[in-house]
A and B are shown apart, each in its own frame.
Chain A
Amino acid sequence: MTLKLGVPSKGRLMEKTFDWFGARGIALSRTGSDREYSGAVDGIEGVELVLLSAGEIPRELSAGRIHLGVTGTDLVREKLVQWEQKVEPLAELGFGHADLIIAVPAAWVDVTTLDDLDAVAAAFRDRHGFRLRIATKYHRLVREHLRRGGVSDYQLVDSQGATEGTVKNLTAEAIADITSTGETLRANHLKVLDEEPVLRSQATLFRSRKAPMAGTDRDALRELEEMLGV
């Protein structure tokens, strides 16, 4: 048996993760051709690298098919019901910062809070005959946030990409999406509400509470945790 570590398979998130582990004496690398998703681990015995899409890592952790995984807090919270019972966060890695926010057209000078959004949603429904649409792919997190904020008369419409464009394209009145700098929002004439974001997210190393471990895996995990200082 080996301890399986799931890491995002491409892009900056993969590189930064490799750097983070490298700085702690564990060299992660991709092997084979650029197109082949296999990897190697040097500096520790009994740990295997599994390259996966960041969006699939929460599912693999909760199914116990990997022991450790690096992914965003946002994805874990959105995809796993009762996430605390399935995974344990071991370390925040200090990159991949992103906030899940609610944004409305910048021209809505009368809207800065969830209370405003709720009042506007009621008026919008009266006027247009349907519930104000908020485009997002984070359905559970956003719905729970709006419920706690007492917002009603809205509907969530699914948007898996180019969410910032939905308002201009008249398929939504507002959006809820991940943003790191806000530049895309500004370019699309949107503004963030003046409130705490729905969620602050960053790349985080999680341990699966569901993955079966043999004695040697426990030893490997202890050694890994020691090297990582988590």
Chain B
Amino acid sequence: MISIAEERAEAVRLRARFVEEGAQNVDCAILQPAETLLDLYGEDIRARAYVTHDPARGEVMLRPDFTVPVVQMHMETRAAPARYTYCGEVFRRQEDDPDRASEYFQVGYELFADRSPAQADAEVFAIFADVLAPHGLRAVTGDIGILASAVQTLEISEPRRAALMRHIWRPRRFRALLDRYSGRTPPPNARKALLKAEDPLRDAGPMIGLRSEAEIAARIDALRADAAEGPLCRSQVELIDTVLSVRETCPFALEHLHDIAVDLPGLTPAVERFEARCDAMAARGVDVDALEFEASYGRTSMEYYDGFVFGFLQPGRPDLPPIATGGRYDALTERLGQGRAAPAVGGVIRPGLLLQMGGRA
């Protein structure tokens, strides 16, 4: 058993390493306003975070991570480039897995830089790789931006594209949408009946609630337009599948993606960004030739990352949570900044897991 004091000491040690790399040490309140986090992550976060009630402030949440408060703090000055480090406890409910820790330390490094994302991504990854080098972990990288730009280039209507983008972090729902658009799953019977009806709202009965008749009519129009749109070409779905299945070391992944971009030219800028990142990482001494890349990495568990993503895992233990995770979260900063983004990339280490691993080795 690792004591809290040991975990804290390790966290402080790691934070000192990040300070050596030029990061400014910051701290954040443990009690965070629940509304901000609920608006960002949706209702699901209630299952993963502790919500409590304050008589004056309403619902508050024990911080489930530092990212949101650090972004908010950065937004006050917006001085870029800026590098922050922090360490402290985060709190996670473990309803499905009560054996996992519900309170543990995180040590983070976050970089806000308006220019050259490739350089910023490479800097953050190289620092984590360096700090974690003594532990012999397996590093995996990915890039949500590649899937996103594949969706951007699909030949489909804007409402369909928006629906796919909205569910990019929910692989099952994303797949169900693709199956629907490509005609693989037929529309439910109720939908067919609705579309056939001349005046679907005639027998609707009394209108109750906030959603107005005009909103219902607008959705029916949208459904009619959707039904009139031809099916998404199977070959396009296959291109998405091919992109998602890319899983090899960076140089091979890059080659593979360049090949896919021949059929999907819209993908080229995203692939070039990947290439620039590989070059920047190599220049910082990262062994890019051996570094793993999975196009679907980080799709399920890291829902605010929208570009580069990475994780450091215990070799041979896929059942355990990653020791460190990180990535780029430009869209999150844009939402917190009410439309003004502050491009950022960062990550966290869990010192408790590092210590546990050391004990076993």
Residues of A within 8 A of B (CB): 81-82, 105-110, 112-113, 115, 118-120, 122-124, 127-128, 131, 139-140, 143-144, 146-147, 150, 152-156, 167-168, 170, 172-173, 188-189, 194
Contacts and interface: CB of A to CB of B under 8 A. Distances in A.
B190 interface: yes
Given A115-B176, A146-B43, A81 B188 contact: no
Interface in B83-110: 95-96, 98
Secondary structure of the B contact surface, majority rule: helix
Nearest to B209: A167
Contacts of B194: 109-110
B269 interface: no
B53 to A, nearest CB: 12
Given A105-B208, A110-B223, 17 more contacts: A82-B96, A105-B209, A107-B201, A107-B206, A109-B204, A112-B191, A113-B190, A119-B219, A123-B218, A139-B46, A146-B43, A150-B170, A152-B166, A168-B208, A168-B209, A172-B209, A189-B208
A155 B38 contact: yes
A189 B205 contact: yes
B167 interface: yes
A146 B176 CA distance: 15
A144 B38 CA distance: 16
Nearest to B206: A189
A131 B208 contact: no
Given A123-B219, A155-B43, A194-B190, A173 B209 contact: yes
B42 interface: yes
Interface string B219-239: 110010000000000000000
B167 A153 contact: no
Nearest to A110: B219
Contact of A170 (B47, B176, B210): B210
6 contacts: A107-B204, A107-B208, A120-B219, A140-B95, A147-B47, A152-B44
A143 B47 contact: yes
Given A120-B211, A150-B167, A82 B98 contact: yes
Given A140-B47, A154-B43, A107 B190 contact: no
A82 B98 CA distance: 9
Given A109-B200, A128-B210, A143 B44 contact: yes
Contact of B98 (A81, A107, A115): A81
Given A109-B194, A110-B216, A173 B210 contact: yes
Interface in B174-218: 176, 188, 190-191, 194, 200-201, 204-211, 213, 215-216, 218
Contacts, number: 100
A152 B210 contact: no
B161 to A, nearest CB: 13
A152 B201 CA distance: 26
B207 A107 contact: yes
Contacts of B210: 128, 170, 173
Contact of A150 (B173, B190, B204, B216): B173
A197 B150 CA distance: 36
B172 interface: yes
Contacts of B173: 118, 150
B215 A106 contact: no
Contacts of A131: 38-39, 42-43
A127 B163 CA distance: 16
A130 to B, nearest CB: 9
A144 B39 CA distance: 18
The 4 tightest CB contacts between A and B, nearest first, are: A150-B173, A112-B190, A107-B204, A167-B209
B302 to A, nearest CB: 16
Contacts of A109: 194, 200-201, 204, 216, 220
A150 B211 contact: no
Contacts of B176: 115, 150
Nearest to A174: B209
A173 B211 contact: yes
Contacts of A146: 43
A37 B167 CA distance: 53
B183 to A, nearest CB: 16
A108 B176 CA distance: 23
B171 to A, nearest CB: 10
Contact of A167 (B44, B208, B219): B208
A112 B223 CA distance: 13
A108 B216 contact: yes
Q: Of B166, B201, B207, B209, which is in contact with the most chain A CB atoms at under 10 Å from its CB?
A: B209
Contacts of B218: 123
Contacts of B206: 107, 189
Nearest to B223: A110
B43 A113 contact: no
A16 to B, nearest CB: 32
A82 B210 CA distance: 37
Interface string B109-137: 00000000000000000000000000000
